[in-house]
Amino acid sequence: MKQLLLLRHAHAEDAGEGQADIDRPLSPRGRAEALDAAHCIAAAGLRCDQLLVSPAVRTRETATIVAAELDLARKLQFEDALYPGEPDALLAAVRRCPAGSDTVLLVGHNPGLSEFAQRFKGTAPPVELQKAGLCAVSFGADTSWSGLRPGQATGFTLLR
């Protein structure tokens, strides 16, 4: 089985005077949320082979906390196309994952991440990932990342 984990970045500070949105760091609350998301991944028994991360400071910090907690730091891959994170850009990034990866974690932004998740879920109610919200999309073992399509999903679970 292959799995795609979608994690929205944790709570971030408001932009300061003259600060670009991409440069907003996590708040103290956000650091705690990121740690909780890592614990959810561990509690579900999931082992990530690949981590795709938006270059925004808040997503990089979220991913770094998760990766450190799960001993995955060497697997972080920052993808410029994931900011701001349109669903088609997210799909293109996932399609570039190595064939041998069974579980891919993508850390990104709303509204694109929730829209992307909804494409795989397909049914009501719509997906609305909260800050540090996490869902898992399952696919058959014969699914290839390079040919991934929403209709191939065999399961959808909201983990956080």
Environment class of residue 14 by beta-carbon count within 10 Å: exposed (0-12), middle (13-18) or buried (19+)? exposed
Q: DSSP label at 125?
A: S
Average pLDDT over residues 47-73: 95
Which sign does the torsion angle of CA 17, 20, 23, 26 carry?
positive
Gap between the terminal Cα atoms of the chain: 21
Residue 140 phi, psi (nearest 5): -65, 155
For residue range 2-28, what is the model confidence (pLDDT) as tens digits? 999 999 999 999 999 999 999 999 999
Domain boundaries in the chain?
2-11+24-158
Q: Which of 59, 157, 65 is nearest to 117 (CA)?
A: 157
The CATH code of domain 2-11+24-158 reads 3.40.50.1240
Question: Chain-wide mean pLDDT for the chain?
Answer: 96
Predicted confidence band of residue 70 (pLDDT cuts 50, 70, 90): very high
Q: What is the pTM of this model?
A: 0.97
pLDDT band at 74 (very low <50, low <70, confident <90, very high): confident
pLDDT at 73: 76
Instruction: Give pLDDT tens digits for 79-135.
Output: 999 999 999 999 999 999 999 999 999 999 999 999 999 999 999 999 999 999 999
- What's the confidence (pLDDT) of residue 75? 81
